Structure 1
Amino acid sequence: GDVCITGHDSGPVFEEQPSSVVYPEELSKGTVTLNCQARASPAAMYRWRVNGTNVPVGDPQYTLVAGNLVISGPLYGRDGGSYQCLAINRCGTILSRVANLKFGYLHDFPGEGQSPQTAYEGAGAFLACQAPAHYPALSYRWIVNEFPSFVKPDGGRWFVSQVTGNLYLAKAELNDTASYFCFTTVNMDISTKSTFSKANQLTVQPHANARKSAPAIKVRFPAETYALLRWRKVDGLLPSKSGASAEGPILTLPEMTFHDEGMYECEAYNSEGRDTHQGRITVQGRLRWRKVDGLLPSKSGASAEGPILTLPEMTFHDEGMYECEAYNSEGRDTHQGRITVQ
């Protein structure tokens, strides 16, 4: 009875194999069906494995319908994992491809909104989405003032990144002043869930060239170009005070110090390629030296002006801690170093 008869019997061949499923984590009373069907003679029997161990078919949560596995009330901690179907008869056993059961979710945005943003007529701007925790990947849209009024491309002036969710404005107009809401959607196999952020207030002001603001570098790109932007400091780390401007067309560095001097690069990139432009920031100021633990040596040939302190014919009296102070109308900054005479 258990011998495969050549010319009469045939081993199992899959006609349908299970597919991966993303199930809503918050839906506790639904079911998931993983399909498995094979033709065989005699007819195949079926078993299932999850993460390499046998599924306890017969438990209330797991039912076998023909070859299909039905999971009732799936739970993230209990049922998530990699499933495979075995089709068996006396001529052989075959193992299906892996089907992953994963659980999708989309949390709410945090209760507090973001700081209001100001843009200037004719200049670029962007609003950060900062999406909440989620799985799988989100799709992004932005609401203007109230649902269901969504941001439209408007000839390329607006662009919504489907990577970060950020909203980019290439050329601001006065009538762009409004409240903007990041609208996120997660698509799962049996449902869709959406949520939106608190209001992001954008105010567009006229006369961009007359404003007073923190030092900044600006990069312009054509309005019809859908591009993501990111800044870096070529010869060091990008100052953290650049904040959200590090992903916008204008890099802003408030409260500049001599540490901020250097070459900066803006990279524009999209699916078509990338391009970069560089600009240098130079902080103007005067320098003066002093000896922290004594008087600055006043010997012949000594120089305490400029970036290099020169002390010829050094003696043990010159040992100590020295400080360089850089100062201008915006403020001051200091650095210290120790001189040791061997």
Structure 2
Amino acid sequence: NARHGPVFTQEPSDSIFPMSSGDKLVFINCKAKGNPPPHYWKVDGRDIDSGSDQSYSLVEGNLLINNPHFINHGGVYQCITTNAFGTIVSREAKVQFALQNFSQKLRNTVTVREGQAVVLLCGPPPHYGIKYSWVFNGNRSFLQQDARRFISQRTGNLYVAKVEATDAGNYTCVVRNMMTNATVFSSPTPVVVRVMGEYEPKIEVQFPDTLYVSKGSSVKLECFALGSPVPSISWRRADGNPLPGKIKINHSTGDLEIPYFRPEDAGVYECVAENSRGKNVARGQLIFQVEHLQWTQILKDAHMAIDANLQWECKAIGKPKPRYRWLKNGQERVHVEAGRLTISTIRLSDSGMYQCVAENEYGSLYASAELKVVGMMLLWKLLLLQSLMGCLA
């Protein structure tokens, strides 16, 4: 029989399922010790009933998804395990699908004046880990980016700063799965061109107002402006300091890349778009962040007497500063102040498995401990036994 609450030895992790691989199964791992009965699972906070939903099944507590579908089975999964001493929940695992087909619905004609700007929307299918390109009039080669044309690798949209008469035709968005090289094509978007004059730059693509970057990573800032004449793009730091010497600027697309990010690279960066009609500036702040959340204080199992008072505290570091939640037997717990959980006048019903969760937008950490509530006499016997065991050791 188990003498302690359950403890995870393996928790589920984020997974990407390449839909074009031909596989028909997704396997999500979860293992625990502490003699618990089989696990059960949640997806997006809802219990999974493998008895009524034939697409889910359990294999020694691990979750198997049969014939997965990106709408029905994409989401955040969590494993739950329990025994006589309580319940704990695993970390959350995101299941994503790499690429679907475009809708083949016909796209509306876009009418634009010569010299004006235009944005063509890609409207990609559900995806992960992809590269965007565009094809013009069914040509075998992809449309080339230059000072006038830009393809965002964040949205897939095609931006043309100044339309010319030769731009009239059909445009097709192409999405390639970087994992499997599978490629899908959108329906063509027809573009009709009419005549117009000059106007000042308008920055249409820009980087976020605030961006957290981890040490050693590479960060790419996109900036593209519409306008006539075609605007030039330049970069600067808002504090007047020179740009880091290691930066790479792609003069054809206007992208700025900072490799091997360090604390001294943090700050406010500005993109300047300029032509003979005027100037426009976009800015955003790069903030150096601790790469991962890390515990600095975690929990220990506790044996407490009835009517005693308990205060548990957990602490983690990370940027942005983590928030804290507490769970008892897998359920949300109230009366929590930051990373501290206080229970006054303990009762037998307070026994169970407790978990502290530290989280920010970049991840989460789970720490667990067991609270055993016993009578005062039994507590003295346990403490005495522990003391004797310590002396023998």
* TM-score, normalising length: structure 2: 0.41
* TM-score, normalising length: structure 1: 0.46
